[in-house]
């Protein structure tokens, strides 16, 4: 009897605790506005359109996130190995000046945007951000190929990029 209850509980947890994996971004996400390094507002759709035809590695991060900073060497190794991909950094920082200083301090190369609503914006809700860093990969057609990775050296990132 205990075994049956355990199996039922495990099955319920597995089906109800897993996140929905999306392959298309919603209109709300695509229309959400971010701020580039020059201070201009840019929609998520504009960001993706600028790099249409290329694989895009999206890194949701923040300067206050220890795991984000500690993972930078692995991210830089990925960039060196997979240099044909676009690296799009979306910062959940609370302050634009801190965001900019951190990019400069750690020489984070890629395309950078500030998320005015942080992880509470449309993208954060859509992908259910519960941890950063958070990596996604969007293919050359604009479909999400990798929905969730939390470490730059996650083997799924390289597998998806190949």
Is 10 among the domain residues? no
135 lies in some domain:
yes
On whether residue 71 sits in a domain, the answer given is yes
Residue 5 lies in a domain: no
Please check whether residue 2 lies inside any domain of the structure: no
Residue 36 lies in a domain: yes
Q: How many domains does the chain have?
A: 1
What pTM was computed for the model? 0.82
Q: Is residue 7 part of a domain?
A: no
Domain that holds residue 120: 21-161
Domain containing residue 32: CATH number = 3.40.30.10
| Pairwise CA distance, residues 78 & 55, whole Å | 13
pLDDT by position in tens, the chain (length 162):
444 433 334 443 433 344 455 667 778 878 889 999 999 999 989 999 999 899 999 999 999 999 999 999 999 999 999 999 999 999 999 999 999 999 999 999 999 999 998 878 777 777 777 879 999 999 888 888 988 898 889 999 999 998
Residue 9 lies in a domain: no
């Amino acid at each position: 009897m205990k075994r049956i209850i355990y199996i039922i509980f495990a099955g319920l947890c597995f089906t109800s605790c897993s996140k929905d994996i999306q392959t298309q971004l919603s209109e709300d996400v695509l229309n959400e506005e971010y701020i580039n390094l020059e201070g201009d507002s840019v929609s998520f759709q504009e960001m993706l359109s600028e790099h249409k035809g290329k694989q895009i590695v999206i890194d949701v991060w923040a300067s206050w996130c220890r795991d984000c900073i500690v993972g930078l060497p692995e991210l830089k190794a990925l960039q060196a190995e997979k240099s044909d991909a676009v690296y799009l950094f979306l910062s959940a920082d609370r302050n634009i000046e801190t965001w900019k200083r951190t990019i400069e301090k750690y020489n984070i190369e890629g395309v950078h945007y500030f998320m005015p609503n942080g992880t509470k914006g449309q993208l954060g809700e859509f992908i259910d951000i519960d941890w950063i860093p958070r990596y996604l990969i969007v293919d050359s057609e604009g479909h999400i190929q990798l929905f969730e990775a939390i470490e730059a050296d996650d083997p799924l990132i390289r597998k998806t990029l190949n």
